[in-house]
A and B are shown apart, each in its own frame.
Chain A
Amino acid sequence: MKKNDPMQSHRRCPMLQKMVTIMKLTTVLLFLTLFQVSAKSYSQETRLNLKFDKETLENVFSKIEANSEFSIFYKNDLIKNSREVSGEFKDVLVSNILDQVLKSENLSYTIKDKLIMIVPTEYIAIENTTQQQGKKISGKVTDTSGAALPGVSVVIQGTTAGVITDNDGKYSISNVSENAILRFSFVGMKMQEVAVKGNSNIEVILQEETIGIDEVVAIGYGTKRKRDITSAVSVVNIGDIPEMPISNASRLLQGQAPGVVVRQRTGTPGEQMNVTIRGVGSLGAGSDPLYVIDGFAVGNSIGQNLNPSDIQSITILKDAASTAIYGARGSNGVVLITTKNAKEGELSITATANFGIQNLPTSRRVKMMNGVEFATFLQESWIDKQRYFNKKEPTIDEIPLGIRYPEQTQYSTNWLDEILQQNSGFQDYNVTIASGKGKLKSLVSAGYLNQEGAVKYTGFQRFNVRANVTGDFNDYISVGLNTVGSFTSERYAGTNSRDGIIGKALYADPRSPVYNADGTLNAYVGGKDGVFGAANPLMELQQHKRIKEVTNLTTNAFIQITFLKDFKFKSSFNASIDSWRRNEFRPSTLAGGGFNSPPPQNATLAEYYDQFINIAADQLLSYNKTIGSHKIEGQLGYSAQQSRSRNITGTGNKFPNNDIQFLQQAETKAPTSSESAWSMLAYFARLNYDYKNKYLLSATYRREGSSRFGKNNLWGDFPSVSAGWRLTEESFMKGISWVNDLKLRGSFGVTGNNSIGEYNNAATLAAAGYLYNDTFSPGVVLNSFVNNNIGWEQSNQVDIGLDLSAFDSKLTFTAEYYKKITNDMLLSVSVPVITGFTSTLTNVGKVQNTGFEFAVGYKTKITNDLSFNSNFNISFNRNKVLEIDGKNKELWTGSFYGVQNRSVIGRPIGMITGFKVIGILQTDAEVASSPKQDGAIPGVYKYFDGDGDGKISYDTKDMVEIGNPYPAFNWGLTLGADYKRFDINLLFMGAQNYDIMRDIEKTVMNMDGVFNILQSGVNRFRSAEQPGDGRGATSNTWKWERESNSRYVYDASHMWIKTLTIGYNLPANSKILKSSRFYFNVDNLLLVTNYPGTNPEINTSGDNRQPGRDDEAYPIPRTFSVGAIIKF
């Protein structure tokens, strides 16, 4: 066994801490009970030449390690007060040296092969002297998964007497008095004390100690001890996240890390959430982070195929110093996901099951008018028109028959309730078989998930299998192979936006029945009394079949060769193949998808087949060397990646019947096919330097070329540097005992963004044919205005942070400040149309994000049975546009009747812009005396005269900023407690002080009477005498009511009690069953907000420049689930 970082890391810790290689250490400790049988080995053959001159024991140990293959382990406080030693050794065994240097200390040692353990002398002594007094206690120690823990030290409290558990986790200790307390401790586990109280058999389960500062975390192209990290990196500790009924892995990030905002924009089953790291940095290119799974940079999405239960750990790289190694894809942050491997020595089968039911709570459902209310509205709005325009009071007989007797309305349908599923099911099963015995470790897992939707006839299913093998092939070569296959199947509906099924259900005529008298579905809803006719939303869900199936096969393989002692070369290869199939058939029996087109319609079919092939190869050469107090790590790397997608689409229209749903049946059909590809190449280097663990320095450099850029700007350079200072290593800090670790760090780096899509670097020609003599002749026209100089978007980011661990590491605290400036944004900017085009992708503009992030963790043991832990994080990000372009001072996106967003220098990107409503015009006199709004009558919104010219023009000139879509801060809080075998965990999260325009209300507060109206519409303006609640406009006109205006802007501050989990661990009760755990979970438990929509995290636009829009989307259900984890 070659000594390596995690091993060395153990030497200087103030107390025994968790290491990643717990099991390796187990082996070390194990031999303490077995050393008498150790055969002749390295230690008895290797002779050393060393010289010490007044050196600390720490340095002595370092020198031994540096000049041999030994690794030495000890508790830091054992040698804290040791004397300096001198001496010269020539051609001697290591035991001779140790005997010499330890003789004046009260220390002894044990050696097995290349591993040396320094222990107190009396510890060894007691082990060897057996005095038959008092009681003999025996038992077994296991971890929470039920696996036996060998090497656990069992000590009688207040003495140094103790033993170590054997290979099966068993121990036997003699000479224990009746009222003694046994202390069980093990590296990486929480220490436990148990009173003997007359028992002779004591079984103990040790809990894992989480987030130790010695934890090793994944960073780009490698790993690093958390405490040595000098850049902004957040670790999501999967062990700290309770079991939840989740279908997409992105959910694991929610509320976990400061600066990482994870928004669930819709409740669509299986959908990936929207992840933004440290604010939106680009106006034009994407803002999604890069996802790297097991070293494979899969892209800006993790998709739906990754099984969350396969994940071992997640690291989020936030600042440029940590992401610059990913160059052009690093500027939006990087999410590193590591999947599970078998632990050394482990042999287990784990089965998990989770069942749940999902519902949309009544309190989160939008309230629309019922049948009678809507009929009454139609009648009143007719009467109001007569009163206002014709100045007369109509008699009952003059009212059109259809709306004359609203109280006699026959049906009252709540369409939203009709399309929502009561108690839709959630099921998730996984089986994992892990074998960590022998040189090659393997793990095989299989999973099945089935999530029915909260909306009827929607749902998501996934099958996964994963197999991996890793290990040492021999002393020089280690290998790994990880293959995962998955299949997902989704039944979806167009659910988002006003024209989606949720919107349609809201505004469908409530006076129409769901079913006809004969029990069949009513095919045409509304279509009378001026109300638009439309398809029955329930029927549309049932009959408009839309299916997406994705098959994914991903393979990672690597081989690592160790050579010349300090060098390693790792070559890895990754490939992913995705096949997508989508099929959408709309039968002729459905009314049209738009308005006023009753059935029958022409049946339509669309079939899409997509294939994505993504291949990457990385070569990594690393060098590791410790010379005295200097530790140097270097890396050189080379990476190549290529991705290609191909698509074939066929659409057909008008089918002879609805039963045979294949294209050849269609009367008209159109096939299309396409292909696109990108590639990148990169060279990179990293240098880490560490002096006495006190001063840490890290620098990276990457040069990357991307096929997405013009010839003149093919290559980009991305350097970074970071430094850390561990104050706790300084002598002036030695006296401050409550501080365990304190580190100050700072970083600077440059990252890029190339998410601009393919082929934007060359002008292409589009087909545009013409006819001569009535015969087609092919032709071409220019397709885009291309900027040949299009180049890299670059972000410069500075980060300053502080990491503190205190009070026996019960408290951890991290604070960071960052400032990120994105230059030369890849922005689609407006250009004069004399170019032939109205926009082109250009490198213009500058956006700044600055912010503070804080994370606090606290865990403590209150009594032997009760412990408590919590994590809180909060982040403040401020976004500001610094520059758009010399000629483009502002960027407008959106539409006059939708939501206008405006990006303007000095303000954040895409502020919600529109008319500012300052009231409702009450009377003709008020209309006349107010700034002129052409066409305004009493009851319409009175707008603020933005440009002060005395009139409100029917365009954007009077529009002003009416909402800020960015929260002042986002926060997450986890509270957990363990009591005996029970545990409870609560996740809270929220965002404060930001706005959303509830765009859907322009449809569901549409007073034309063509759609159903929000229940609150009963309080609309009817006349100066009946002014209503000041929120609803008159039904007498349409103008000045639904333009982008502040009436529809709401504060979306909110707090979620996102998850509650209560778990119970059964004691390990047999040789077969290692452990079993049962839990109950409520997901999306409680939402506290004044926002009137169902989801304050919604954004129905996918564009960075159009934040804060709510045009209605798939609602987020509450899920109650129970689950079990059983390990054999």
Chain B
Amino acid sequence: MKYIIKIACIAFGLTLMSCGDSFLDKVNPTQLTAGTYYQNQAQVQSAVNGIYSQLQDLTSIQWINTEYISDNTSLHFNVGDRGQGPSLEAIEYFQINSGTSNITNWYNQLYRGLTNINIVLSKLEGATMDNALKLDFEGQCKFMRAYYYFQLVQCFGDVIIVKEPIGTPAEAYNFKRSPVADVYTLIESDLKTAITSLPDRASIAVNQKGRISKGAALALLGKVYLTKKQYAEAVTTLKQISGYSLMPKYADVFDPQQKNNVESVFEVQYQANTDIGEWSGFIYNFYPRESYGAVIKFTNANGGGWNIPTRDIIAAYEAGDLRKAVSLAEGYNNNSGVWTPIPFITKFYHAHTVVNRPGDNWPILRYADVLLMLAEASNEATGPADGYAYVNPIRVRAGLAPLAGLDKASFRTAVLKERRIELAFENHRWYDLKRTMSPTELATFLNAHGAFEKSNPTTNRGGIPFSAGDYVFEAYEALFPIPASEILVNKDLTQNPGYK
């Protein structure tokens, strides 16, 4: 019997040399393993960079849910390909339901961003690095978290609050939606931390240019207060912002040659003409379909035509407004030289040398917005007297006469309109409408807009009529539905009223 064992051992040993669990330990060599990351400054910095990077992903779809749905933009109706029907068209035509994929994508992208934010926040404590640095990273992450929750709470109302990374699938099913007030509590608390932890823009190193500063946190907190109609707090907070001023020319604000300029409070960074994945694709979604290079000078380059200015906003520009030609074009000459009256956004179109690789940054907060918020908040708090000083520099830059002699209500209307034009296509309009109108007022307003679009479609519809339900906005649609896919996996989630 010993003999048998001996032979078996020799033979087995041949393969047992590589044996044991270590033989079964296979790690993906092409990617970093998350479990052992976030240990030191370099690793945490790269994870924070990842958080910024996800803001690019978020911004690339933000226009669908905040601009496109408003009265600012519409779509270049595609007779031949209605494949976008249930998603993009649903939003433009107010045919949203809990399955509308662009709403789901928006919701998902927001929580995706939050996941990375929460991971970094939870790992900061254990990472080996300077405490001041930790504080700085915490400030940046908490600004981001506040920004994400602010988007969520405005779009969806009550939402799930998740502040820690979720470890197993089982845990994820135990969350319920928190009331709006609780979400704002978190947002304010995060922003207050950010304000105390973050450096002023002036003290940020050149090689960090474009990152979040204290000014950005103040501006965002001001916006939160404004949204919550805490006007006095809004004024106090926004007034603390210093070191920013308006660019002399409106066009310079969006010029890729002058990124992160003195007016920029916070913008999403992009880079043109390279293959490192940092280009911004906005204009390729916005400019007209089937323009075949007539608009963007690359042979056969076609746009999506999804986010085009409405006749309504084109008409809203006052005569002589210098911002109009910067922001939009009312049509273009096609390759045969024939005028084609399809309007498109030009604000985010700047020359680039490689097709599909523009580099326009996307403004999230800029000083003009701060000034307009101050004008709005101070008017609501104390009347229009203080507001002129904030709004008029913007009008003057646009080549328009300054405002004067308005009562509180007229000033309110004037500032809202000024915001629409000054911040056109920068994804503020939907939130501005929701902030300044009750859901019923919003419904009345948007139904009027819809009726106008139905009778004067911005683009030709090729003989295809609107459905009866198109452009019918009901008050409950002021909040988006919680995606059906989320309710399917978590039966504890409630749906917003009005949606099935």
Q: What is A's interface to B at a CB cutoff of 8 Å?
A: 385, 389, 530, 532, 561, 563-564, 567, 569, 571, 592, 595-598, 600-601, 617, 619, 621, 636, 638, 640, 642, 668, 670, 674-681, 705-708, 714, 758-759, 762-766, 768-783, 785-789, 829-838, 840, 842, 887-888, 890, 896-897, 934-935, 953-957, 1008, 1010, 1037-1039
Contacts and interface: CB of A to CB of B under 8 A. Distances in A.
A779 B26 contact: no
Contact of B488 (A680, A758, A888): A888
Contacts of B162: 834
Given A677-B26, A763-B33, A771-B271, A934 B86 contact: no
B115 A771 contact: no
Interface string B134-177: 00000000000000000000000000101000101100110100
Nearest to B472: A934
B37 A776 contact: no
Contacts of B27: 759, 762
B336 interface: no
A640 B32 CA distance: 27
A765 B274 CA distance: 23
Contacts of B107: 833
A779 B211 CA distance: 14
A385 B33 CA distance: 60
B490 interface: yes
A598 to B, nearest CB: 8
Interface stretch (B182-190, B426-434, B437-445, B462-470): B462-470
A778 B46 contact: yes
A830 B485 contact: yes
A780 B37 contact: yes
11 contacts: A564-B3, A619-B11, A642-B23, A759-B26, A773-B210, A780-B46, A832-B160, A833-B108, A834-B160, A836-B114, A1008-B79
B34 A763 contact: yes
Contact of B175 (A595, A765, A834): A834
Contacts of A766: 31
Given A571-B14, A888-B488, A935-B469, A707 B25 contact: yes
A768 B53 contact: yes
Given A640-B19, A763-B35, A777-B49, A835 B207 contact: no
Q: Which 5 A-B pairs have the closest CB atoms?
A: A836-B115, A779-B49, A935-B467, A707-B26, A763-B34
Given A640-B18, A831-B489, 13 more contacts: A596-B302, A619-B15, A679-B23, A714-B24, A764-B31, A765-B33, A775-B207, A776-B278, A781-B51, A788-B168, A835-B166, A836-B111, A934-B468
Contacts of B37: 765, 780
A935 B86 CA distance: 13
B319 interface: no
A768 B53 CA distance: 6
Contacts of A770: 49-50, 52-53, 56, 269, 278
A768 B54 contact: yes
Contacts of B81: 595, 1010
A774 B207 CA distance: 9
Contact of B82 (A530, A707, A842, A1038): A1038
Contacts of B299: 600
B28 A764 contact: yes
Contacts of A840: 169
A962 to B, nearest CB: 18
B105 to A, nearest CB: 10
A771 B269 contact: yes
A947 to B, nearest CB: 9
B31 A765 contact: yes
A940 to B, nearest CB: 12
Which of A561, A681, A842 is most buried by chain B, counting CB atoms within 10 A of its CB?
A: A681
A762 B35 contact: yes
Interface in B2-49: 3-4, 7-8, 11-12, 14-16, 18-19, 21, 23-35, 37, 45-49
A833 B156 CA distance: 15
B206 interface: yes
Given A678-B26, A838-B485, A389 B168 contact: no
Nearest to A600: B299
A834 B172 CA distance: 7
Given A530-B80, A779-B48, A617 B15 contact: yes
Nearest to B208: A772
B276 interface: yes
Contacts of B70: none
Contact of A833 (B15, B23, B99, B111): B111
Contacts of A785: 169
B35 to A, nearest CB: 6
B354 interface: yes
Query: How many B residues are at the interface, by size bracket?
Result: 35 or more
B486 interface: yes
B80 A778 contact: no
Contact of A765 (B16, B32, B211): B32
B378 interface: no
B209 A772 contact: yes
A441 B281 CA distance: 67
B467 A569 contact: no
A771 B362 CA distance: 13
Contact of A769 (B208, B209, B277, B463): B277
Contacts of A837: 112, 115
A783 B468 CA distance: 43
Nearest to B166: A835
Given A679-B24, A782-B34, A957-B500, A887 B491 contact: yes
A776 to B, nearest CB: 5
B275 interface: yes
B15 A640 contact: yes
A954 B87 CA distance: 11
Interface string B298-309: 011010000000
Contacts of A1037: 464
A567 B97 CA distance: 72
Residue in B14, B81, B169, B208 whose Cβ sees the most chain A Cβ within 10 Å: B169
Interface string B68-87: 00000000000111110110
Contact of B8 (A621, A836, A935): A621
Interface in B89-112: 90, 95, 97-99, 107-108, 111-112
Contacts of B56: 770
Contact of A714 (B21, B112, B209, B269): B21
A311 B21 CA distance: 37
A668 B23 contact: no
A935 B14 CA distance: 73
A675 B486 contact: no
B201 interface: no
B119 interface: yes
A711 B302 CA distance: 50
A563 B270 CA distance: 74
Given A681-B19, A897-B83, A934-B468, A779 B46 contact: yes
Contact of A638 (B15, B119, B259): B15
A789 B108 contact: no
B207 A564 contact: no
B116 interface: yes
Contacts of B125: none
B318 interface: no
B30 A674 contact: yes
Contacts of B32: 764-765, 780
A238 to B, nearest CB: 33
A636 B90 CA distance: 65
A596 B289 CA distance: 11
B24 A781 contact: no
B172 A835 contact: yes
A786 B168 CA distance: 8
Interface in B235-285: 259-260, 269-271, 274-278
A778 B115 CA distance: 19
A789 B278 contact: no
B115 A782 contact: yes
